[in-house]
Amino acid sequence: MNAVAIALHSIAAAVWVGGMFFMLVVLRPSLQVLEPASRLPMMATATRKFFPWVWMAIVVLMLTGYWLIGAFGGFSAVPVYVHIMHLLAWIMAALFALMYFVPNKAFRRALEANDTEQAAKSLNTVRLIVTVNFVLGLAMFAIVTGGRYW
């Protein structure tokens, strides 16, 4: 059962962090070929499709993470790097929730109201939070792969 939890945990992390990489490094720069009026609706569509996957990844990561901590003897038995990962996981989840419920909602409302200036500002805030989460996600991968060698 632990092998299944580790596999699901890894897949969920790859979906979330890989999706952020794609959105920041591939999709966003690629949208520059579109007219400005088309960019915002395209990002709205992309985030509408990606964000449910992030919610699912967060649930899977939390469930499997706690399962594995329990399987390895609980918080008192796991190494320091697992505690760091635990803290970063909650920070990332909180940042995603904040981004989803505040600037993302503002972006969608502004886009529906045809307020492209406000939509662009809100989307930029989304991008900034996603960038912070992406950096934290990369740090998590480094901790996961290297932490046991500290």
Predicted local distance difference test score (pLDDT) of residue 27: 97
Predicted local distance difference test score (pLDDT) of residue 129: 98
Predicted local distance difference test score (pLDDT) of residue 65: 97
What percent of the chain clears pLDDT 90, i.e. is strictly above it? 95
CA distance 55 to 47: 12
CA atoms within 13 A on the CB side of 95: 19
The ranges assigned to domains in the chain are 2-149
pLDDT, tens only, 3-32: 999 999 999 999 999 999 999 999 999 999
Q: Could you say which residues of the chain have pLDDT below 50?
A: none
Residue with tokens 């503002």: 106
b/e map 15-27, b = 16+ CB within 10 Å: bbbebbeebeeeb
Predicted local distance difference test score (pLDDT) of residue 37: 82
Angle, in degrees to the nearest 10, between helices 103-112 and 116-146? 150
> Beta strands of 4-117 (E only): which ranges?
none
Q: What is the model's pTM?
A: 0.94
Predicted local distance difference test score (pLDDT) of residue 103: 98
Predicted local distance difference test score (pLDDT) of residue 148: 87
Predicted local distance difference test score (pLDDT) of residue 77: 97
Predicted local distance difference test score (pLDDT) of residue 150: 82
